[in-house]
């Protein structure tokens, strides 16, 4: 079996920064440190940090007063920030800078008197945080049908923003639907969608031209990982999402001469290696990496944690 690895794949700069914030907080302040929501959507990452003393909670009511508290990479609503101040928590904000950029865009549009439309998935923590960061009216749409169902006059001044981990193609279609309905529409270019989302989707489309089966390493609750699997299926390739090699079903790769592997932005490379090991248990495997973009993006840490060895 020939295994081709997508390039790029796996961790993005926002995930690296978020994990390092928890790492350094544990080094500097000692255990426990509290993290609101999973720092990133990956059980292996969360489990490793939990073993070192990170405590993951869904509500700040679970955090003792004055405790070191980290907001996840997905971002939080202003009400959560206010609650943290009221409880006198020592907050370290691991919100991805690209998510924070969306918050700023949305606030600027709302301040200009526009109804803000957020393109995203209902219930996703990033969506909940973004909607709670913007004063004024924010409406959530997931697809073109939602756009058609909006109860707004056509002349309404409207602006759109997007969840960072969405499909570029799906977002483009929803934006086109908004343009058809609302003549007074402004918003960022689709190029402002997270660079890592775009790069990994582009790489998967290229990879699918070369393989019989696609394996996407990532968590079931990871939006960007699920979208990579969907892109594979839309390309006509048998595509499967798995957290690690223990979830590999031999039937998925039976008879496949070439298998492609990619990983979502919150999946560590160790999980990719685990999947390769599971494939090797089925028979001889030759591994190569496709030519692709090398990412060199880095985001600064909070000043309280800067300057210490990771």
What are the respective helix, strand and coil percentages of the chain, to the nearest 5? Answer: 40, 20, 40
Looking at residue 254, what DSSP letter applies? T
Give the three-state DSSP class for 54.
strand
Set 126, 128, 230, 295: catalytic member? 126
Q: Measured between alpha carbons, how far is residue 88 from residues 76, 81, 85, 243, 303 in Å?
A: 17, 11, 5, 37, 19
| Dist CA 167 CA 173 (whole Å) | 10
Contact 258, 211 (CB under 8 A): yes
Contact 266, 41 (CB under 8 A): yes
Task: Residue 258: count other Cβ atoms within 10 Å of its Cβ.
Answer: 15
> Distance between CA atoms of 271 and 9, rounded to whole angstroms?
12
The answer to whether 258 and 1 have CB atoms below 8 angstroms apart is yes
Please say whether the beta carbons of 222 and 266 come within 8 A. yes
- Residue 292: CB atoms within 10 A of its CB come to 17
What SS3 state is found at 5?
strand
Alpha-carbon distances of 130 from 123, 161, 164, rounded to whole Å: 11, 10, 11
Return d(Cα 287, Cα 294) in angstroms, integer.
19
Among the listed residues 212, 218, 163, the one whose alpha carbon sits nearest the alpha carbon of residue 40? 218
* CA–CA distances in Å: residue 69 to residues 5, 40, 179, 229: 37, 15, 41, 33
206 in active site = no
Indicate which residues carry an active-site annotation: 126
């Amino acid at each position: 079996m020939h295994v081709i690895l997508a390039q790029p794949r796996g961790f993005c700069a926002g995930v690296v920064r978020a994990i390092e914030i928890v790492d350094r907080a544990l080094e500097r302040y000692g255990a426990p440190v509290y993290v609101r929501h999973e720092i990133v959507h990956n059980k292996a990452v969360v489990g490793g940090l939990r073993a070192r003393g990170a405590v993951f909670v869904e509500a700040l009511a679970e955090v003792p007063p004055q405790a070191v508290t980290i907001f996840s990479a997905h971002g939080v609503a202003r009400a959560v920030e206010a609650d943290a101040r009221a409880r006198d928590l020592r907050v370290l904000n691991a919100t991805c800078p690209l998510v924070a950029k969306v918050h700023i865009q949305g606030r600027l549009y709302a301040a200009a008197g526009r109804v803000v439309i957020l393109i995203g998935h209902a219930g996703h923590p990033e969506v909940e945080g973004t909607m709670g960061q913007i004063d004024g009216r924010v409406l959530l749409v997931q697809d073109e049908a939602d756009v058609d169902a909006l109860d707004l006059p056509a002349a309404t001044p409207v602006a759109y923003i997007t969840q960072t981990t969405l499909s570029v193609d799906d977002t483009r279609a929803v934006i086109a639907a908004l343009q058809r309905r609302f003549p007074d529409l402004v918003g960022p270019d689709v190029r402002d969608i997270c660079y890592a989302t775009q790069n990994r989707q582009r790489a998967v489309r290229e990879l699918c031209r070369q393989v019989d089966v696609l394996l996407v390493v990532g968590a079931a609750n990871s939006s960007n990982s699920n979208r990579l699997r969907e892109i594979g299926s839309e390309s006509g390739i048998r595509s499967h999402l798995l957290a690690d090699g223990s979830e590999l079903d031999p039937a998925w790769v039976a008879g496949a001469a070439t298998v492609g592997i990619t990983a979502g932005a919150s999946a560590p490379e160790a999980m990719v290696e685990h999947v390769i090991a599971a494939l090797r248990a089925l028979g001889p495997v030759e591994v190569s990496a496709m030519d692709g973009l090398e990412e060199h993006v880095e985001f600064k840490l909070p000043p309280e944690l800067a300057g210490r060895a990771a």
